[in-house]
Amino acid sequence: MNRKIVDEYRPFKLQLPESTMKKIENDIKLGVEEFEIREALDQLGDLVTDQQKQHIFGLLNNRNNE
């Protein structure tokens, strides 16, 4: 047997758990101040992926446009 084992490097990405994302989404629906939500995202820092940030900011923008 002349097989090579190839390891793929996949960096582990931290992200917010689904339950936390649901809480933030619910807070947006309930009308929590945008400042508070943005401040919370800043405090969470690297735990929030770019995709999660875009989703949250999209919800905020949609709420502001209503």
Query: Tokens 């992200």 correspond to what residue?
Result: 15
Q: What backbone phi and psi angles, to 5 degrees, belong to 31?
A: 90, 20
Residue 57 has, within 13 A of its CA and on its CB side, a CA count of: 11
Q: If you average pLDDT over residues 56-64, what whole number do you get?
A: 92
Say what the pLDDT of residue 39 is: 94
pLDDT (tens digit, 9 = 90+) per residue, 3-57?
Answer: 666 666 666 667 888 999 999 999 999 999 999 999 999 998 888 888 999 999 9
Of the candidates 41, 43, 39, the one whose C-alpha atom is nearest the C-alpha of residue 52 is 41
Task: Provide the residue ranges of all domains of the chain, joining segments of one domain with +.
Answer: 21-65
Question: What's the rounded Cα separation, in Å, for the pair 65 and 62?
Answer: 5
Residues in the chain: 66
Say what the pLDDT of residue 6 is: 67
Res. 65: pLDDT tops 90: no
